[in-house]
Amino acid sequence: MKKWLSSIFILCIAFSSVGCPGGAKENAAKGEEKGDVVVLDKAEFTAKVFDYEKNGGNWVYEGNKPCIVDFYADWCGPCKKVSPILKDLAALYKDEIVVYKVDVDAENELAAAFGISSIPTLLFVPAKGTPQIAQGALPREELIKCIDTFLLGKE
């Protein structure tokens, strides 16, 4: 798994320089359909995004649409600035992508598995291919550029 995480972090550097239970799961699915930002716990993350315990160092995306995963904390100022932007983009792109959030304080094992040491950290996951990570509060225009070019392949 460490080899896989090192590859993700190498991509993170390149990407950053470009700028670029049952009832809960049912509600999360409804949120995805409506274009809401969906908060994930570890079990939901492994079911909807990546089961890192089962797949180890081999990236296998579990979702149907590209997604963004926002690793955040409620007390984080920059996270609070990015949150309404992501909510807006989740609604704007509701038919094309899903926006998830993972609270690093509540899900510290999950955050540790991805080596999250700075928040906000955004994981951009295309439907096929390797995800990329960006750290910091990216402005709306940069997020749109990343969604359009990296996640959706628009030019």
Q: Model confidence over 69-80: pLDDT tens digits?
A: 999 999 999 999
pTM across the whole model:
0.80
* Residues in CB range of 63: below 8 A, 6 or more apart: 48, 49, 98, 125, 127
pLDDT, greater one: 32 or 84:
84
Residues that are catalytic: 76, 79
pLDDT digits 0-9 by tens, 101-148:
999 999 999 999 889 999 999 999 999 999 999 999 999 999 999 999
pLDDT score of 6 = 39
Residue 117 host element (H or E): none
The answer to whether the Cα torsion of 99, 8, 80, 74 is positive or negative is: positive
Q: Which range has highest mean pLDDT (6-15, 55-64, 129-138)?
A: 129-138
* Top CATH class, 2-151: alpha beta
Q: What are the residue boundaries of the structural domains of the chain, listed by start?
A: 2-151
Q: Which of 44-48, 51-55, 75-79 has the lowest mean pLDDT?
A: 51-55
* Residues in CB range of 93: below 8 A, 6 or more apart: 35, 147
What is the C-alpha to C-alpha distance for residues 155 and 128, in angstroms, rounded to an integer? 18
Spatial contact of 134 and 121, defined as CB atoms under 8 Å apart: yes
Spatial contact of 68 and 99, defined as CB atoms under 8 Å apart: yes
Q: Is the pLDDT of residue 51 over 80?
A: yes
What is the C-alpha to C-alpha distance for residues 145 and 25, in angstroms, rounded to an integer? 30
